[in-house]
Amino acid sequence: MNTPPLLQVEHVSKSFGGNHVLQDVNFNIARGEIVGLLGPNGSGKSTLLNLVTGFGSIDGGKIDFDGQNIGSLPAHRIVNAGIGRTFQLPSMPKKMSVMEVAMAASTSHHGVLATVFGSGGARKAEADAHAKATILLEQLLLTHVRDLPSSALSGGQKKLLGIVCALMSDPRLLMLDEPTAGVHPNLRNDIVQSLRKLNKAGMTLVIVEHDMHFIREVCTRCIVLDRGRIVASCHPDELASNEHVVQAYLGSAEKREPAEPAKVAEVA
């Protein structure tokens, strides 16, 4: 029997005014995959992540997660359905400590009633969130800064804290928007190891990333967006020989902005 895909995106489109950012986007993500979402700057990657996770509404099409239509659900219901995400530019309350930011991302709270009527549920939920945050902060190498205000973190450490926050809700699908951008190279391998471990434990991953070494090390398949359309779905090793991918990054000089040399070299 065929298992249905975990995520199904069908004919999704999105415009901002006259800017057609996504056009007839179709793809599936199977359970257990680690998929890289690639494309030049401005091709619509973050917008696609936003639409799947409820940060913005689709103009047309359908998004199903585990058989449930999530296309019109608000972000918090999509988290509860089992999708976690990080942001390209993480933003968090500056004065809260790293531990507090992580705990605030917990979804296993018992709500106001438990606190008011003193069922003990709220205290247990807090203890559970603390225990989970402790483990995740250790896994993402943030234990030594857990009591610092989040404003004291470097850009890379904020990315790591973003991953911790996304993991606090035990997602089945984790979508990461440029997780290694600004992260110190020494930490990059730790992120690779953490993501592999999560995948081994059953988590499905979609990763927006420009670093081709990272893509080759981590991803089992890549989807490539070019100006709002999917132009390729292939193994990372096939990217360099895929003419649509090369065209997306190189393009023709008169029609496009020049791509950044490092990225062109990597893909071509």
Which of Mg ion, ligand ADP, none has residue 119 at its interface (CB below 5 to 8 Å by kind)?
none
At position 200, the amino acid (one-letter code) is: K
Exposure b/e, 152-176, CB count within 10 A at least 16 = b: ebeebbbbbbbbbbbbbbebbbbbb
Which of Mg ion, ligand ADP, none has residue 44 at its interface (CB below 5 to 8 Å by kind)?
ligand ADP
**Residue 45 interacts with ligand ADP (CB under 6 A): yes or no:** yes
Interacting stretch for ligand ADP, rule CB under 6 A, among 14-22, 111-119, 197-205, 251-259? 14-22
Interacting stretch for ligand ADP, rule CB under 6 A, among 41-49, 125-133, 141-149, 235-243? 41-49
DSSP sequence for 84-115 = EE--SS----SSSBHHHHHHHT-----HHHHH
Cα 27 to Cα 233: distance, rounded to the nearest angstrom: 9
**Residue 46 interacts with ligand ADP (CB under 6 A): yes or no:** yes
Which of ligand ADP, Mg ion, none has residue 108 at its interface (CB below 5 to 8 Å by kind)?
none
Interacting stretch for ligand ADP, rule CB under 6 A, among 28-36, 43-51, 134-142, 249-257? 43-51
24, 230 Cβ separation under 8 angstroms = no
Interacting stretch for Mg ion, rule CB under 5 A, among 85-93, 106-114, 179-187, 198-206? 85-93
Interacting stretch for Mg ion, rule CB under 5 A, among 81-89, 212-220, 230-238, 240-248? 81-89
**Contact residue for ligand ADP among 21, 92, 125, 175 (CB under 6 A):** 21
Least distance CB 81 / Mg ion (angstroms): 23
At position 126, the amino acid (one-letter code) is: E
Cα 153 to Cα 94: distance, rounded to the nearest angstrom: 10
**Residue 47 interacts with ligand ADP (CB under 6 A): yes or no:** yes
**Residue 53 interacts with ligand ADP (CB under 6 A): yes or no:** no
**Residue 46 interacts with Mg ion (CB under 5 A): yes or no:** yes
HSE-CB for 78 with a 13 A CA cutoff: 27
Q: How many residues bind ligand ADP (CB under 6 A)?
A: 11
Strand-pair partners of 41: none
Which of Mg ion, ligand ADP, none has residue 229 at its interface (CB below 5 to 8 Å by kind)?
none
Distances (CA, A) of 195 to 31, 116, 139, 163, 189: 15, 39, 10, 10, 10
Cα 234 to Cα 36: distance, rounded to the nearest angstrom: 10
**Residue 16 interacts with ligand ADP (CB under 6 A): yes or no:** yes
* N-terminal to C-terminal alpha carbon distance within the chain: 39
**Residue 42 interacts with ligand ADP (CB under 6 A): yes or no:** yes
**Residue 19 interacts with ligand ADP (CB under 6 A): yes or no:** yes
Strand-pair partners of 84: 174
Interface residues with ligand ADP (CB under 6 A) are: 16, 19, 21, 39, 41-47
The residues that touch Mg ion, with contacts defined as CB under 5 A, are: 45-46, 88
